[in-house]
Structure 1
Amino acid sequence: MRNLILTAGLLASLALPAAAQAPQVLRIGVTPGPHAQILEAVKPVAAKRGLDVRIIEFSDYVVPNEALSAGEIEANSFQNQPYLDNQRKDRGYKIESVALTVNFPLGIYSRKHKSFDDIPAGGTIAIQNDPTNGGRSLLLLQDKGVIKLKPNVGFKPTVADIIENPRRLKFIEVDAAQTPRSLPDVDAAAINTNYATPAGLKPSDAILREDPKGPYVNLLAVRTADKDKPWVEALVAAYRSPEVKAFITETFKGSVIASW
């Protein structure tokens, strides 16, 4: 009887560490396409670090930060710093970046024209209706000599900041997720890569393409209250691992660029 009691006690003591080592569940919000694909590659690497990554897909750019702020997810991976800064300013989110991830060079696509020069005077261009991505599209058009913006407009210019538009292009602002669907109705549309890819568009199809530079590298974001928790460091290490970098390089062939 004494041996049975000792054995039972030993088994109970061994069970405690096992329970204590249960994987940390992390719900991570992403937009469909490359962000979700990359997180799938992160999952097995994160599992080795004691993290159970569960991917939650959102169809737009607004809800992932709302969900993170509300505690419905632990992290998100879909945005760049200018967009996060704008969201924090407008909505008061206590959210911050914990690591840079990948860059998606923005492209201008067309179903009607093989080059941007083919777009006629007065042609219609769809851009995103949020300040960060819409501004990014206008900066791309300025960089390519299509328009000129007011000096010192920063990273979030609007259509009202256009001071020279020699081709009298008309700009239509639509939700970023809807830009691929706008292509039949416009001469061209500025489309983020994570929306272009699911729509069957390749970066090589773009008639204008952003240079992979500047402040538009994407990031991992968490609530400010969580930024120093051990799981954050483990998640960053898993994401920025050699295995995930190799996956990005081999899968996206330069359309998505690792930041590390």
Structure 2
Amino acid sequence: MKKTIAAGLFLALFTLLVGCASSETAGSEKEKTIKIGVTGGPPEEITNLVKEEAKKEGIDLDVIKFNDIVTPNQSLADGELDLNMFQAKQFMEKYVADRKDPIVAIGTTYNSTLGIYSEKYESVDDIPEGATLGVPNDPVNLWRGLLIFEEAGLIKVKDDVQLATLNDIEDNPKKFKFKEIDVTLMLRTLNSIDAGIVASTTAFNMGLEPIEESIFLETGDSFPMVVATNEKDKDNPDYKRIVELYHSDAVKTYIEDKYGEVIRVTDDPFTIE
């Protein structure tokens, strides 16, 4: 009888231990960690809010901040990241065309504006003939900057030109000069030029309010920010869920309250045109 009782106790203890181990394993399987690269300012702030929403669904979003606009794609291609969210669709496409890295956009998040800033003039109409205008030195943002100067009525760019360069300026009635400058350094260079193109993300990061301190703000939605991943992971359901969370009610409300018209959530997370 004692042997039977002892055997029963051993079996019960063994079952309990196995059950606990199984529960721990199941719990660890539910906790999914996804590494996402961002740059400072709105990309980091908004993604940290997405992290809070993802945590409610058992996803640990590890937000990693970068200080430049090249390394996040390199780190993604090298497998150090699962996702990144810091760039416009066209910027990513140009990077892929140049580097041949298997990076793809799996969804859009929001449209972040660029603007014209000046330390000398309070209106684009005040910029004098022969002034020096700063444009970003990467091909996509240079093209975008030229389109903003065109929207402001300062120049005319040739129609239907993709990745327009300075050579595609069709009309420059005030004979402006153009200087190519790293987009992340433009604000610090304004004292040596008459006006320049600055990303609202950079302006926010430097403590500026784009609506109040730019002299012209882009109005279009043609350069949406994207979530990118490696091509082999483009159908990962957890990664797609992260894209959807950028469109959650909590994130939309945060963006509308904090950024107003400067940053606008895209209409459809999975429409990438």
Once the two structures are superposed, the pairs formed by residues 121-160 of structure 1 within 5 Å of their partners are 121-154=129-162, 156-160=163-167
- 1:45 pairs with 43, 46, 53, which one? 53
What secondary structure does 2:160 align onto? Answer: coil
2:192 maps to 185
Q: Is the 8 A contact 2:108 2:243 kept in 1?
A: no
What secondary structure does 1:71 align onto? Answer: coil
CA pair 7-194 structure 1, distance change in 2 beyond 3 A = same
CA pair 55-6 structure 1, distance change in 2 beyond 3 A = closer
| AA at the equivalent of 1:24 | K
Shift, 1:207, TM fit: 1.1
Equivalent residue pairs, number: 257
Structure 2: gaps of 5 or more residues: 1-8, 268-273
Shift, 1:145, TM fit: 2.3
| AA at the equivalent of 2:50 | V
1:171 maps to 178
1:29-61, CA deviations, whole angstroms, 9 ceiling, x for partnerless residues?
111101111011111101112211121112222
| AA at the equivalent of 1:240 | H
| AA at the equivalent of 1:138 | L
2:114 maps to 106
- 1:29 paired with 2:23, answer no
1:166-218, CA deviations, whole angstroms, 9 ceiling, x for partnerless residues?
111111111111111111111111001111112232222211221133x2111
Shift, 1:136, TM fit: 0.3
Question: Partners of 1:254 and 1:82 in 2: how far apart?
Answer: 21
2:270 maps to none
Once the two structures are superposed, the pairs formed by residues 206-245 of structure 1 within 5 Å of their partners are 206-213=214-221, 215-245=222-252
Question: Partners of 1:82 and 1:19 in 2: how far apart?
Answer: 38
What secondary structure does 1:113 align onto? Answer: coil
The 4+ residue runs of structure 1 with deviation greater than 3 A are: none
Shift, 1:16, TM fit: 2.5
1:69 maps to 77
| AA at the equivalent of 1:127 | V
Shift, 1:68, TM fit: 0.8
2:205 maps to 198
Structure 1: gaps of 5 or more residues: none
What secondary structure does 1:254 align onto? Answer: helix
| TM norm structure 1 | 0.94
2:3 maps to none
What secondary structure does 1:101 align onto? Answer: strand
1:14 maps to 23
Shift, 1:150, TM fit: 2.7
Pick which of 142-151 and 246-255 moved more: 142-151
1:251 maps to 258
Which structure is larger by alpha-carbon Rg, 1 or 2? 2
What secondary structure does 2:261 align onto? Answer: coil
| AA at the equivalent of 1:257 | R
Question: Partners of 2:13 and 2:207 in 1: how far apart?
Answer: 65
The RMSD of aligned alpha carbons is 1.4
What secondary structure does 1:134 align onto? Answer: helix
| AA at the equivalent of 1:236 | V
The alignment-based identity, stated in percent, is 34
1:115-152, CA deviations, whole angstroms, 9 ceiling, x for partnerless residues?
11111211111110011111001011122321122333
Q: Is the 8 A contact 2:107 2:240 kept in 1?
A: no
Q: Is the 8 A contact 1:104 1:212 kept in 2?
A: no
What secondary structure does 1:66 align onto? Answer: helix
Shift, 1:103, TM fit: 0.8
1:80 maps to 88
1:155-175, CA deviations, whole angstroms, 9 ceiling, x for partnerless residues?
x11112113211111111111
| AA at the equivalent of 2:248 | S
What secondary structure does 1:197 align onto? Answer: helix
| TM norm structure 2 | 0.89
Shift, 1:8, TM fit: 2.2
